[in-house]
Amino acid sequence: MGAVETQRTLVKSVPEVWAELSEAGALGQILQGRFGEIRITRLTPESSIEWEGELAGGMVALEPSVFGTRVRLSALLTEATAAPLVTVPAPAPARAGLLARLFRRRPPPSPQTLPQDVQAPAPPLDPQQAREALTAVLDEIGAARHRPFSRDAGTRAQIT
């Protein structure tokens, strides 16, 4: 359908960004609601991660930069395929004897239902929505998780 790409330089080292993204659970958690269920297909240590989802497949590329790490996210949107129609064949009537056919009671007709595990396909992802989702991922990765030089605000350092 279409490719979407976004990039940003984050003020984090390559190992920091790699640690956040290289685990299948972490990347899947960040991308989960946006591209469906995510699984990592290939890892190249501290340089790239390839992933596949229900609505798209993509790649995360990490490059060292002067002020941090350049993170490039790309996604290739998949086309929505129509689900095959499931037809339930009517059961063949059983052959009954002469008396059974003469004095039979007709049961009420039962509605034929589709199996419960058949799901409608997910709607296709708009390229603008995909770009916003990738930008949100960059925002999530680039957010500060801790304050490295902060002290406990409630206590004062005692000099003795």
User: Highest mean pLDDT range out of 2-6, 59-63, 75-79?
Assistant: 59-63
Distance CA 94, CA 45 (A): 65
Q: Is residue 39 part of a domain?
A: yes
Tell me the C-alpha distance between 26 and 6, whole Å.
19
Q: Which domain holds residue 67?
A: 1-80+125-145
Does residue 119 lie within any of the structural domains?
no
**For 123-160, how does the pLDDT look when each residue is reduced to its tens digit (9 = 90+)?**
677 788 888 888 888 888 887 766 666 555 555 555 65
115 found inside a domain: no
CATH of the domain at 42: 3.30.530.20
Domain membership flag for residue 73:
yes
Give the whole-angstrom CA distance, residue 116 versus residue 136.
35
* Count of structural domains within the chain: 1
Q: Is residue 111 part of a domain?
A: no
Q: State the average pLDDT for the chain.
A: 75
**92 in a domain, yes or no?**
no
| Residues 83-132 pLDDT 10s | 555 555 656 666 667 777 777 777 666 666 555 555 555 667 778 888 88
Decide if 53 is inside a domain.
yes
- DSSP strands (E only) in 78-109: none
